[in-house]
């Protein structure tokens, strides 16, 4: 049984797929359900290995039911994940400098008056699937409107303002709360809501603390305290106009890698791999495969051989037999140590180049006789 490079690629792809599923499950708070689906699938594979047909059918049915429940219960989270894939093809709603200046002025004014505020600046990714819409407004961004919205006597004081480009699209919008366990103790519900949206999208969130009069900008998994309105304006301008180059995307992707999830994905991939390929299996197939001679000594040629094919007994599970191409299996005879005349070559399982996961149990005949003779010299060309 030989490990081919294709097998290594398959293992890497399986690990990446499991990591993406686990990462999504953690973000969508569906990690336990995702792990349940994987556990049921591994159990079904193990049941097949031991010929537990009824058990494998039950586990397969449970896997399908649990997977459908995952799709139905977490449909909004799945839509959000798919929406992120399309973010690069979506036209960016870039806030212009006057809008950012108005946001900075309003935030500084609200901080001085100790009025809490939550302002969402949409960039490339839509946040419509992540928030409760609130009340549609559609007015142009101005410091006066923002200050009026967040006054304590305003009927739309609670919730967030959503800004796309130069327009205030919604007010009194409810944002998703963060599920991170390492949130700072001084952060209240407003800050947790800002973190929750920033973690799930590329939006910028400006949070004004009612208790401390502080201004915080949140994006991705980061939060930065602003000292002045000028500092806030410079930060927002830099973040809104940040280049979305490939190198930046790769850097963000690497920052988001979770070592714990990678370890879990590797362990699950190894478990699935072992169950699929390393168990002996209960199916045996007998095939006649061709004999291939390698490393024929220089100056010699094969004059005769006792057989040009051998029968091979292959053991594996039915799944592998149905998915691999057994027509590529050959019996390789190494003639490195062969000499001129009659040679007897013993054949063992190592001579059969079987796909990974398929074991050679027996082969017949167990030896091949081959006769080597000097290679005929080509006649010299005329006139030489």
Condensed to tens digits (0 to 9), the pLDDT of residues 217-274 reads 999 888 899 988 899 999 888 888 774 433 444 445 555 567 877 888 888 888 877 7
Structure tokens at 17: 């797929």
**Residues pairing with 287 in the sheet:** 312
Please report the pLDDT score of residue 30 as a whole number. Answer: 67
Structure tokens at 339: 């000499």
Q: How far apart (Å, rounded) are the C-alpha atoms in residues 196 and 132?
A: 13
Please report the pLDDT score of residue 91 as a whole number. Answer: 39
Please report the pLDDT score of residue 370 as a whole number. Answer: 93
All domains in the chain, ordered by first residue: 5-87+254-278 (no CATH), 97-240 (3.40.1700.10), 283-374 (2.170.120.30)
By residue count, the chain amounts to 384
Q: Which residues of the chain have pLDDT under 70?
A: 1-7, 26-31, 51, 75-96, 243-257, 276-281, 319, 377-384
Please report the pLDDT score of residue 54 as a whole number. Answer: 86
Cβ atoms of 340 and 374 closer than 8 Å: yes
Angle between helices 31-49 and 259-273 in degrees, nearest 10: 20
Please report the pLDDT score of residue 56 as a whole number. Answer: 83
Angle between helices 31-49 and 53-73 in degrees, nearest 10: 160
The whole-chain average pLDDT of the chain stands at 81
Please report the pLDDT score of residue 77 as a whole number. Answer: 61
pTM for the predicted model, two decimal places: 0.47
Q: How far apart (Å, rounded) are the C-alpha atoms in residues 308 and 348?
A: 16
């Amino acid at each position: 049984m030989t490990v081919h490079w294709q097998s290594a690629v398959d293992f890497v792809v399986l690990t990446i797929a499991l990591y993406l599923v686990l990462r999504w499950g953690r973000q969508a708070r569906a990690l336990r359900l995702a792990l349940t689906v994987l556990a049921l699938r591994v159990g079904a594979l193990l049941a097949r290995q031991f010929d537990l047909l009824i058990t494998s059918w039950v586990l397969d049915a449970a896997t399908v039911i649990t997977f459908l429940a995952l799709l139905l219960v977490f449909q909004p989270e799945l839509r959000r994940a798919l929406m992120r894939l399309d973010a690069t093809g979506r036209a960016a709603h870039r806030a212009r400098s006057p809008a950012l200046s108005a946001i900075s002025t309003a935030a500084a004014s609200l901080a001085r008056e100790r009025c809490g505020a939550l302002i969402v600046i949409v960039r490339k990714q839509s946040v419509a699937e992540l928030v409760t819409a609130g009340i549609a407004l559609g007015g142009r961004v101005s410091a006066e409107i923002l200050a009026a919205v967040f006054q304590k006597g305003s009927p739309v004081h609670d919730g967030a303002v959503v800004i796309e480009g130069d327009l205030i699209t919604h007010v009194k919008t409810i944002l998703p709360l963060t599920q991170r366990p390492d949130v700072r103790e001084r952060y209240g519900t407003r800050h947790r809501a800002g973190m929750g949206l920033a973690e799930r999208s590329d939006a910028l969130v400006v949070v004004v603390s009612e208790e401390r009069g502080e201004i915080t900008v949140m994006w991705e998994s980061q939060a930065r305290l602003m000292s002045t309105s000028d500092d806030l304006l410079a930060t927002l301008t830099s973040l809104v106009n940040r280049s979305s180059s490939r190198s930046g995307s790769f850097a963000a992707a690497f920052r988001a890698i979770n070592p714990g999830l990678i370890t879990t994905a590797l362990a699950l991939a190894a478990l699935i791999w072992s169950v699929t390929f390393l168990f002996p299996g209960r199916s045996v197939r007998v095939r006649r495969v061709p004999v291939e001679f390698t490393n024929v000594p220089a100056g010699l040629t094969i004059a005769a051989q006792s057989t040009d094919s051998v029968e091979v007994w292959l053991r594996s599970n039915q799944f592998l037999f149905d998915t691999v191409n057994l027509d590529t299996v050959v019996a390789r005879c190494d003639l490195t140590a062969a000499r001129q005349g009659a040679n007897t070559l013993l054949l063992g399982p190592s001579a059969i180049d079987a796909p990974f996961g398929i074991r050679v149990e027996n082969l017949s005949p167990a030896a091949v006789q081959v006769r080597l003779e000097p290679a005929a010299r080509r006649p010299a060309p005329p006139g030489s």
